[in-house]
Amino acid sequence: MRASLALMGGAAVLALAAAPAAAGEYVTWHDDGTVDLVMEDGTTLKTSRDELGGLFGPDQKPFEGTEISITVNSGGPKGGISGPMHSFRPIWEELSGGKLNIVELPFAEHYTKMMLDLRNGTGQYDAFMVGAFWYGDIVPAGYAYAIDELMDSGDFPSWTYDDMPPSLKALYTWKGEGFGTLNDADGQVLYYRKSVLENPEHQAAFKQEYGYDLPSPPKTWQQLLDISRHFNGKNWDANDSEADSGTVLHLKVGEQGHYHFQSLSASFAVTPGEKVDRTHNVYWFDPIDMKPLINSPGHLRALEFLQELHGTGPSAQVGWSLGEAWDYFLRGKAVFVFSWGDVGALCQDTTRSNIQGDCAAAVLPMSDEYYDMEKKSFVKAEDRPQVGNTTGGSWHGVISNFSANPEATYSFLSLMAIRPASMWNAQHGWTGVDPGYSYQFLEEQGGTAKIEDYVDAGWSAEDASSYLQAYRDNFYAPTMLTYLRIPGTFEYWDILDKNLSAAMSGAKTAKEALDDTATSWEQVTERIGREKQIEDYQAAIGFEG
């Protein structure tokens, strides 16, 4: 008897699971024009018919029978960038009647598979969740599908580039045309353990050792190094009995280790100025002749500095990718980490973090001196304007020009770009989607969000406001580190990455590493064509002569 009951129960469960999705499993249309989207974890996102655009509707299946494929860095249903696609897939499939394939590729293979598809014109993938540094290889070659018309048609879920700070908008567009659909906003900020820096005992000890008051947060990289040295090797964290570290870095080769160097070296190597000319506001190449600037004295000093900073963290970090370094910070083992928005959001995830409420953020420090490319010497600089960065991929969807279904593809990408979706993504650390849009910043920071929005999503109010302030200061900074988006960027960066890794692991000196990088870059430039590169580079950085 009991067995047969269990059998019947099992059959009922099966029947439920087999119920058609059309029954409004993930989408509920209300008569007042509002629409509820139910995420897989059960949360409901509030949107409206207007926001969803003209194509979707209660009785509409505009893309019935259409199958689309989108590539993304692999990470699984709960991984960075790939996770939200898994979350929005059932919603979109119900709205559109279409089918979405999520093609997850390891970071190191993603670019390759994309380029193979595009070079061969296979059209196997309809869109790619690209890093903005791939634009130089795909947009000028005509591989990307411009989305301005689709955006203006009113048929699709609506969002706008106007919500982005100019520094981010630049990454989603090319020469004024829109290609990217709003998703991620990458930039590195400094995370620090406020309770540790503001502990009076530590402050007194620090002053005794270094002769000045411990700044919280540090304003210059040099101060940060002092603090980091001071705390490294001491057991200032009560969670375990082992010694803790100063700054933790993610330096693994073949991934995103080189970004630390980019963000850090900006304020050592970029000469501030009114406009972008041969010596001002340039970082990568001399815009006149494409000679690499990467081994300039400013870059060199920054790399030597990074080597010293590495000495104040766990030595294993040379082989760490982002996750390992973040977990180290989240477990309370380091005073500082400078990294992406994920960290701030992950701090709130108490299954991984010990430090919720003590995870303060600030815009990155500045170097107290920089190399002036015009004067050809180092210049002491205090209180100069902040150099912001959009370091990272700002991963987002770009539609393939070979796609047979750009409309269906766009309808999915834009669904993830509407405000409630983007807000939800930014509030959850595991999504890998980081904040940067006006409606994600607080009202007092010039945005439209309220602190309650974050507290309701499980954030510590204090963490949230310092986090959002840090990002606001970063993305709206008066000077930005120029973002490299020319053909071959991935290869240039790969070369830099390997050499930096060699320098950080002690296989090369800083000077050797950067000089070797410059030599190899010259070969790439020669192979792609110098004249063409000069033209693209000047356009990419807004060169004004």
Residues 416-435 touching other proteins, rule: CB under 8 A, are: 432
Residue 353 near residue 445, CB atoms below 8 Å: no
3-state SS class at 440:
helix
Q: Which residue, 8 or 116, is less far from other proteins as judged by CB?
A: 116
**477 CB-side CA count, 13 A:** 27
DSSP string for 22-51: GGTSSEEE-TTSEEEEE-TTS-EEEEEHHH
Question: In angstroms, rounded to a whole number, what is the distance separating the alpha carbons of residues 417 and 422?
Answer: 6
Tell me, what DSSP letter sits at residue 383?
S
Question: In angstroms, rounded to a whole number, what is the distance separating the alpha carbons of residues 348 and 340?
Answer: 15
Question: In angstroms, rounded to a whole number, what is the distance separating the alpha carbons of residues 128 and 321?
Answer: 22
Min dist. Cβ of residue 311 to other proteins (A): 13
What ranges in 59-193 are assigned the alpha helix state H?
82-96, 107-120, 135-138, 148-152, 166-172
Six token digits for residue 35: 């629409």
Q: Which residue has the tokens 């505009």?
A: 62
Q: Does 478 bind other proteins (CB under 8 A)?
A: no
Q: Which residue, 249 or 481, is less far from other proteins as judged by CB?
A: 249
Q: Does 499 bind other proteins (CB under 8 A)?
A: yes
Buried b (16+ CB within 10 A) or exposed e, 11-38: eeeeeeeeeeeeeeebbebeeeeebebb
What is the contact mask toward other proteins in residues 184 to 203, using x (rule: CB under 8 A)? Answer: --------------------
3-state SS class at 198:
coil
Q: Which residue, 5 or 17, is less far from other proteins as judged by CB?
A: 17
Min dist. Cβ of residue 410 to other proteins (A): 11
Q: Does 21 bind other proteins (CB under 8 A)?
A: no
Six token digits for residue 389: 């960065």
Burial of 171 (0-12, 13-18, 19+ CB in 10 A): buried
Q: Which helix (H) or strand (E) holds 265?
A: helix 258-269
Min dist. Cβ of residue 469 to other proteins (A): 24
Task: List the interface residues with other proteins, window 141-180 (CB under 8 A).
Answer: 142, 153-155
Question: In angstroms, rounded to a whole number, what is the distance separating the alpha carbons of residues 76 and 97?
Answer: 23
Q: Which residue, 401 or 466, is less far from other proteins as judged by CB?
A: 401
Task: List the interface residues with other proteins, window 115-144 (CB under 8 A).
Answer: 115-125, 142
Q: Does 77 bind other proteins (CB under 8 A)?
A: yes
Q: Which helix (H) or strand (E) holds 299?
A: helix 297-310
Which one of residues 27, 35, 47, 69 is an interface residue with other proteins (CB under 8 A)?
69
Min dist. Cβ of residue 384 to other proteins (A): 33
What is the contact mask toward other proteins in residues 87 to 116, using x (rule: CB under 8 A)? Answer: --------------xxxxxxxxx-xxx-xx
Dihedral (Cα; 446, 449, 450, 454), 10-degree rounding: -130
Task: List the interface residues with other proteins, window 265-304 (CB under 8 A).
Answer: none
Q: Which residue, 254 or 542, is less far from other proteins as judged by CB?
A: 254
Q: Which residue, 301 or 310, is less far from other proteins as judged by CB?
A: 310
Which one of residues 315, 452, 478, 526 is an interface residue with other proteins (CB under 8 A)?
315
- Write the CB contacts of 212 (distance below 8 Å, at least 6 apart in sequence): none
Q: Does 263 bind other proteins (CB under 8 A)?
A: no
Stretch that binds other proteins, among 283-291, 361-369, 371-379, 492-500 (CB under 8 A): 492-500
Q: Which residue, 44 or 315, is less far from other proteins as judged by CB?
A: 315
First to last CA, the chain: 87
Min dist. Cβ of residue 173 to other proteins (A): 19
Which one of residues 33, 58, 166, 506 is an interface residue with other proteins (CB under 8 A)?
506
Min dist. Cβ of residue 147 to other proteins (A): 11
Question: Could you tell me how many residues of this chain bind other proteins (CB under 8 A)?
Answer: 88
Stretch that binds other proteins, among 175-183, 217-225, 267-275, 311-319 (CB under 8 A): 311-319
What ranges in 388-485 are assigned the alpha helix state H?
406-415, 419-427, 451-456, 461-475
Stretch that binds other proteins, among 202-210, 289-297, 403-411, 472-480 (CB under 8 A): 403-411
Six token digits for residue 161: 């580039």
Q: Which residue, 125 or 412, is less far from other proteins as judged by CB?
A: 125
What is the contact mask toward other proteins in residues 225 to 254, using x (rule: CB under 8 A)? Answer: -------------------------xxxxx
Task: List the interface residues with other proteins, window 322-351 (CB under 8 A).
Answer: 322-328, 342, 351
Residue 144 near residue 87, CB atoms below 8 Å: no
Min dist. Cβ of residue 431 to other proteins (A): 10
Min dist. Cβ of residue 113 to other proteins (A): 5
Which one of residues 34, 38, 54, 532 is an interface residue with other proteins (CB under 8 A)?
54
Six token digits for residue 350: 């108490």
Q: Does 316 bind other proteins (CB under 8 A)?
A: yes
- The closest alpha carbon to 105, from 123, 82, 127, belongs to 82
Tell me, what DSSP letter sits at residue 272?
P
Q: Does 357 bind other proteins (CB under 8 A)?
A: no
Min dist. Cβ of residue 522 to other proteins (A): 14
